[in-house]
Amino acid sequence: MSNVYNINEVAKIFNITTNKIRYYEKKGLIEPLRDIDNEYRKFNDEDIIKLQSILLYRSIGLSIKHIKDILNNSSNNNYLNHFNNQYEIVNSEIHKLTDIRKSIGKILDNIYEADDCSIDNNILHIIKHADELNKIRDNWKDKWDFDNWATSYDNDVLEDRGALKIYKNYNLILDNVYKLTIDSEINNPYILEIGVGTGNLVSKFLNNDFAIVGIDQSRKMLNVAKQKYPQLKVRLGEFLKIPYNDKCFDIIVSTYAFHHLNSMEKSIAIGEMIRVLKDNGKIIIGDLMFESKEDEERILKGLSMEQIEEINDEYYSHIDFLQDEFKKFNKILKYTRVDNFNYIIEMK
Same-domain pairing of 94 and 232: no
Same-domain pairing of 87 and 190: no
Closest among 73, 28, 225 to 81, alpha carbons compared:
73
Query: Rounded mean pLDDT of 89-93?
Result: 96
Domain span including residue 100: 80-139
Q: Does this model's pTM top 0.75?
A: yes
Which of 27, 50, 72 terminates a domain? The answer is 72
Which of 53, 72, 91 terminates a domain? The answer is 72
Q: Reply yes or no on whether the pLDDT at 248 is more than 90.
A: yes
Q: Which residues contact 27 (CB under 8 A, 6 or more apart)?
A: 64, 68
End-to-end CA distance of the chain: 65
Which of 123, 139, 155 terminates a domain? The answer is 139
Q: What is the C-alpha to C-alpha distance for residues 130 and 128, in angstroms, rounded to an integer?
A: 5
Q: Residue 118: which pLDDT band, with cuts at 50, 70 and 90? A: low
Same-domain pairing of 235 and 286: yes
CATH number, domain of 61, equals 1.10.1660.10
Domain count along the chain: 3
Same-domain pairing of 163 and 295: yes
Q: What is the C-alpha to C-alpha distance for residues 273 and 255, in angstroms, rounded to an integer?
A: 14
Same-domain pairing of 162 and 247: yes
Closest among 227, 161, 229, 239 to 193, alpha carbons compared:
239
Give the per-residue pLDDT at 35: 82
Same-domain pairing of 64 and 122: no
CATH number, domain of 165, equals 3.40.50.150
Same-domain pairing of 158 and 128: no
Same-domain pairing of 55 and 173: no
For residues 201-239, b (16+ Cβ closer than 10 Å) or e, as one string?
bbbbbbeeebebbbbbbbbbbbbbbbeebeebebbbbbb
Range with the lowest mean pLDDT among 120-124, 136-140, 274-278? 120-124
User: Which pLDDT tens digit goes with each residue over 56-83?
Assistant: 999 999 999 999 999 999 999 999 999 9
Q: Which residues contact 137 (CB under 8 A, 6 or more apart)?
A: 92, 95, 96, 240, 241, 268
Same-domain pairing of 46 and 89: no
Q: Which residues contact 214 (CB under 8 A, 6 or more apart)?
A: 192, 193, 196, 199, 202, 222, 225, 232, 233, 234, 235
Q: Which helix (H) or strand (E) holds 4?
A: strand 4-5
Same-domain pairing of 103 and 196: no
Q: Residue 29: which pLDDT band, with cuts at 50, 70 and 90? A: very high
Q: Reply yes or no on whether the pLDDT at 116 is more than 70.
A: no
Same-domain pairing of 57 and 92: no
Same-domain pairing of 218 and 270: yes
Q: Which residues contact 278 (CB under 8 A, 6 or more apart)?
A: 247, 248, 249, 250
